[in-house]
Amino acid sequence: MVLNNQRHVSLFRNGRNQAIRIPREFELEGTEAIIHKEGDKLIIEPVRKKSLKAVLASLSPLNEEFPEIIDFPVDSENVL
């Protein structure tokens, strides 16, 4: 039954968990989701991957000195 972006689905058991088969038109991207309950409703949302820029912006600055690195010249006989 499809009505206003709704679909009647069946619940089933998968081991000790209750599960639902998500119809193709409601599939989420990715391999993970977040689920939470609001009253008697279950809300399922895809986990959005952060961009590298967002991950880097969330990191704390380093407060330590880096050791000096001596960059020795490469022996030309060992270069392919």
| Residue 1 confidence (pLDDT) above 60 | no
Query: What is the pTM assigned to this prediction?
Result: 0.52
Q: Which residues contact 55 (CB under 8 A, 6 or more apart)?
A: none
**Is the confidence at residue 2, as pLDDT, over 60?**
no
Domain 1-60, classified CATH 2.40.50.140, yes or no: no
Q: What Cα–Cα distance (Å) separates residue 25 from each residue in 1, 6, 41, 74?
A: 13, 10, 20, 58
pLDDT, one tens digit per residue, over 32-61 is: 999 999 999 999 999 888 889 988 999 998
Give the chain's mean pLDDT.
Answer: 87
Confidence of residue 75 (pLDDT cuts 50, 70, 90): confident
Domain boundaries, the chain: 1-60
Using the predicted structure, report yes or no on whether residue 68 has a pLDDT greater than 60: yes
